A and B are shown apart, each in its own frame.
Chain A
Amino acid sequence: MDVTVAVHKEGLLADVDAGRKPVTIPGLGRALRAEEMVINMGPQHPSTHGVLRLELIVDGEIVVDVIPHIGYLHRCFEKHCEHMSNYQQVVPYVDRLDYVAAMSNEFGYAIAVEKLLKIQVPERVEHIRVIMAEFSRIVSHLIAIGTYGLDMGAFTPFLYCMRDREHILDIIEETCGARLLYNYMWVGGLSHDVKPNFQEKTRAFCKYFRPKIAELNELLSYNKIFIERTAGVGILPPEVAINYGASGPVLRGSGVKWDLRKNDPYSIYNRFAFEIPVGKGIKGEVGDCWDRYMVRVHEMEQSVNIIEQAVEQLPAGDVQSAIPKRIRPEAGEVYVRTETPKGELGFYVVSDGTQSPYRVKVRPPCFVNLSAVPAICRGSMIADVVAILGSIDIVLGEIDR
């Protein structure tokens, strides 16, 4: 695929043009130039992971340009926040940003407002929050991996991932009553304490889940056809990734060892021992789709490690003792970023001294990762666009807010 390599090496760092002008592919020449077709991977499509419209300008099977159109799921979250009468009322809205891994969003928001209020939550709350956030990470990665297999045509791993996800959702449902959108992590504490059988069930899950990752690797990750579809496809060089602001598995898949839980620690993550998986280009080149995919698989294993350690150390306490009766922070602002399964989620909360927020701005990781997709996709084939989009793992709720 000389065309792809040529475009990638020449075009990526030098391209300023993210607008509508298509990029000419060197090597095709005037004599061979056929007319380009504009084809819509429309808002409704089985593989765009939500309502995303990708306008593909193609030359046969080769993609000349990709123009993403977003905004189909815009629900005016930030405007709503400014009219809330209470900082706690924002939490259910925050859930619905990345609706696949809702606990991670709540975590970030809770920490941000607690930093603004300068309050400290009890140890028990910290431990449970970490456990729930890591459960969220496993859940999100299971969906990412399952749907990625589905995009590639492997129907079975998706159902195995859903089966494993049910175990986690059972534990969370026992704790807070909801399976997908929780309203659990309130500012200053949690809405419910965990049930007495929580530790036992969590340990049983960890024991159950480790062999399942091995099974998944055997079925999907090291399958020759899957590797051929994903290795060497959609290469994102590390400097480009940093410049585009990519984060999470997208950044780590390109070889950059950067994880907010270790590099900019928040909550009690600095007490746990875990590793940061990084893409090494084993099957193709560093930064290809297979690397990003394998980073997610390895991250699930590391999350199980963290959960086991946290559940051993779970102290006693009251999870609601630090929840303030009235949240009225002083005028000021704070920016807090946390490592969600999709990447770096940032909350910029500005308070003007009243009970409702002045401004809540969300910096969604998928929004920023998606902006890198046109640069990655130029020169690949249509089937590769599906592979690349799946490996970036977007959730439109977060992108559009």
Chain B
Amino acid sequence: MKDFLLNLLQNEILVYSMMAIVPLVWVIPFALFAVWWERKISAHMQDRLGPMRTGWHGATQTIADILKLIMKEDIIPAAADSKLFKLAPYVVFGGAYAAYAVVPFSAAYVGSEINVGLFYFISISSVVVVGLLMAGWASNNKWSLYGALRSAAQIVSYEIPVALAILAVVMVVGTFDLQGINQAQSGMFWHWFVFQKFPFLFFALIIYFTASLAEVNRTPFDIPEAESELVGGYHTEYGGMRFALLFLSEYSNMFAVSAIATTLFLGGWNSPFGNFLSGPWWGVFWFLSKGMAFIFVQMWLRWTLPRLRVDQLMYVGWKVLIPFSFVLILGVGVWMLAVQ
């Protein structure tokens, strides 16, 4: 896609800006859709209907909500640190969006073709922590502070199992480049990494998925925004469009980690039937569907499980996930040496 646009427009800066905006074309409608989808999923799981009036089965409910949020008064608490308070949602969104630079939506499109894509992804997600801490501190509210501190501790701790699970895949494929990882899984669906080196990479998917739930602050790891204890955690004092931006970044973060899970384990933009139904546009379709399947599981878990207390959360991260991921890496390494 980059070469096609360069030939067309001959202006490098314009082309690269266009390439950077393409994920936004997906992320914003996705967030609108995901909010509606979450409300419908939660409603049907809870034996009720959810939004029904705004459009077909409430399909335009999110748009109505966005319109309402735009019209709200912009309230900043008097004693809050207003510069940090205003800056925080942008930092959170920036960190969540910057991860899309390396997400390969299709064989023809990836925002930035760097060959350490995965390494970049793991590091850039940490920028979100800075934003959350800013939001919690600047609100001048003890409960927000609790939420922000817990969130920082949680995200930082769970980066390690994420990185270790990813490392297991990198050992098998030999490169950090996400397009390369995708290409290594081409063929029928049993070439996908989740079925390779069975069962080690399968468990790597489970560990990665669990740890990524903690990265995006979803139940059962949603202590930072634990409604029943902290009222709203780090986004208690935010209202109107600032809140909408924080919410948008949460959903885009959710999709970003699902996208990486898809790329690493489920074959990315590869069709499950080999050459049948494959191509640059079909690739986008397969990629987005697999990502949405992970999103569905994330939402399903949110409405089923209670949340862990913060010390239990730390226990699960440090004393359960990390030892298991070490065992996985050991297993994959021994397998590769033995086969050789």
Contacts and interface: CB of A to CB of B under 8 A. Distances in A.
Chain A in direct contact with chain B (Cβ < 8 angstroms): yes
Interface of A: 37, 39-40, 45-47, 61, 149-156, 159-160, 163, 219-220, 223, 225-226, 228-229, 381-384, 386
B53 interface: no
A386 B228 contact: yes
A223 B305 contact: yes
B142 A153 contact: no
The 3 A-B residue pairs with the shortest CB-CB distance in the complex, in nearest-first order: A153-B307, A159-B46, A152-B306
A87 to B, nearest CB: 41
Interface string B303-340: 11111111110000000000000000000000000000
Contacts, number: 77
A154 B219 CA distance: 9
Contacts of B223: 383
B45 interface: yes
Given A223-B305, A225-B307, A383-B310, A153 B45 contact: no
Given A46-B227, A153-B219, A153-B222, A228 B46 contact: no
Given A152-B306, A225-B308, A160 B228 contact: no
Contacts of A220: 306
Interface residues of B, number: 28
27 contacts: A40-B142, A45-B231, A46-B228, A61-B310, A152-B228, A153-B222, A153-B226, A153-B305, A153-B307, A154-B305, A155-B302, A155-B303, A156-B42, A156-B46, A156-B303, A156-B304, A219-B304, A220-B306, A223-B305, A225-B308, A228-B312, A229-B308, A381-B310, A382-B229, A383-B223, A383-B226, A384-B309
A386 B229 contact: yes
Nearest to A153: B307
B333 to A, nearest CB: 32
Contact of B46 (A47, A160, A381): A160
B47 A163 contact: yes
Given A47-B229, A159-B48, A152 B307 contact: yes
Nearest to A155: B303
A270 B57 CA distance: 53
B228 A47 contact: yes
A152 B307 CA distance: 6
Nearest to A47: B228
Given A47-B228, A163-B47, A149 B306 contact: yes
B304 A383 contact: no
Nearest to B312: A228
Contacts of A382: 146, 229
A226 B306 contact: yes
Contact of B306 (A39, A46, A153): A153
B228 A153 contact: yes
B304 A46 contact: no
Contact of B45 (A40, A61, A152, A156): A156
B111 interface: no
A382 B145 CA distance: 14
Contacts of B146: 382
Interface string B35-50: 0000000100111100
B78 to A, nearest CB: 18
B220 interface: yes
A220 B312 CA distance: 18
A223 B42 CA distance: 19
Contacts of B306: 149, 152-154, 220, 223, 225-226, 229
